[in-house]
Amino acid sequence: MPNIKSAMKRDKVNAKKNLRNRMVKSSLKTTLKKFDAAVSSDAEQALSLLNSSYSALDRAVAKGVIHKNAANRKKARLAKRLAKSAV
């Protein structure tokens, strides 16, 4: 436990940010898992889930949870997976 007041505040702020980041990451993972499940079963539903996956990735980037390039890489892989399943 820190003794300095500013260090105590940093602990509190970091705990809040950690919780918020975990929530964003968790919802992102859930969205991506739903997309993966839809790709194998229903192409039309997968297309709508692709849009929601893109939005979830963009929100995570805007909040600083993941890096912009990581989100773009994931988007490219999602689109590639959908195109491969459509063939």
Please tell me the pTM assigned to this model: 0.85
Domains within the chain, CATH numbers bracketed: 5-86 (1.20.58.110)
Query: How high is the pLDDT of residue 41?
Result: 85
Note whether 8 and 2 are within 8 A (CB).
Answer: yes
Residues of the chain with pLDDT under 50: none
Mind listing the pLDDT tens digit for each residue in 34-53?
999 999 888 788 889 999 99
3-state secondary structure labels for all residues of 4-64: CHHHHHHHHHHHHHHHHHHHHHHHHHHHHHHHHHHHHHCHHHHHHHHHHHHHHHHHHHHCC
Question: What residues contact residue 55 under an 8 Å CB cut-off, 6+ apart?
Answer: none
